Amino acid sequence: MTDPQRYDGRRVLITGAGSGIGQATTLRILREGGRVAAVDISETGLADTLAGSGTDRARLTTSIMDISDEDSVRSGVADAVRLLGGLDTLVNAAGILRSAHFEETSVQEFEQILRINLVGTFLVTRESIAALRAGNDPAVVNFSSTSAAFAHPYMSAYAASKGGIQAMTHALAMEFGKQGIRFNAVQPGSISSGMTDGSGASGQSIGPGLPADADIALFAKAAPALPLPGGAPFAGPDAVAAVVSMLGSSDAYFVTGTEVRVDGGSHM
């Protein structure tokens, strides 16, 4: 099946483009005709994304950017906008997930997750606003999570960061609505990516760095209702990339200030 060409002429900046959903979104939007500036903190990851771009490589540029560092974001966004000649869609896919018992979580660990996920999304969006304001049907897609609204044990810091992103998305949608900039978020759940690799005490793969004594039964409600090939516990990152692609395109011209849950019905 041929991908729709919704991104012909659209200029797109994607963070976290070196792996997982960010990488899948980059490749999806390239297939739909977009020009993409892909940024990530991992040079190896970006090389992998570039290698996977195939015949679309001419419309892809890659660069290193640390979204938790204000100077890196300021220069990185400016370079991306210059190379693209403007900006129409921003996808804030970069983030980290760490798991731990709440009482064993240090202030440094808690702040690191907030700094990268929440503050990083703020920094990239703030530096992109001027270019988006001048863009064509501008749209921002942020990454929340099912953990923002549903209980995910051992992930309190991550849940706090994603809840903040979801709330900020609503506030920005209201603030910039009259200027024509759309803000939406996706809530991935039960998705296989670099952030969900790992196993609990039983060896069952359910997340990164879970405590050795993690109670797997606490994750029973996170099982998707929809069946997956081979009984896999997680869907591929392409499931989210398809939704991000829609929200960042002109197809979603009347959608703003909301979130779309992509979890196979795990949290109905």
> What token pair was written down for 49?
């994304």
Main-chain dihedrals φ then ψ at residue 250, nearest 5 degrees: -70, -10
In whole angstroms, give the CA distance from residue 122 to residue 255.
21
On whether the CB atoms of residues 68 and 75 are closer than 8 A, the answer is: no
The full DSSP string for 152-185 is -TT-HHHHHHHHHHHHHHHHHHHHHGGGT-EEEE
Q: Which of these, 189, 193, 146, lies nearest to 166 by C-alpha position?
A: 146
261: β partners? 187
38: β partners? 14, 62
In whole angstroms, give the CA distance from residue 212 to residue 197.
15
For residue 248, give the H/E element and its range.
Answer: none
Q: Examine the residue annotation and report whether 7 is marked as an active-site residue of this protein.
A: no
On whether the CB atoms of residues 17 and 49 are closer than 8 A, the answer is: yes
Cα angle 230-232-235, degrees, rounded to a multiple of 5: 120
121: β partners? none
The SS3 call for residue 222 is helix
Instruction: Report the catalytic residues.
Output: 158
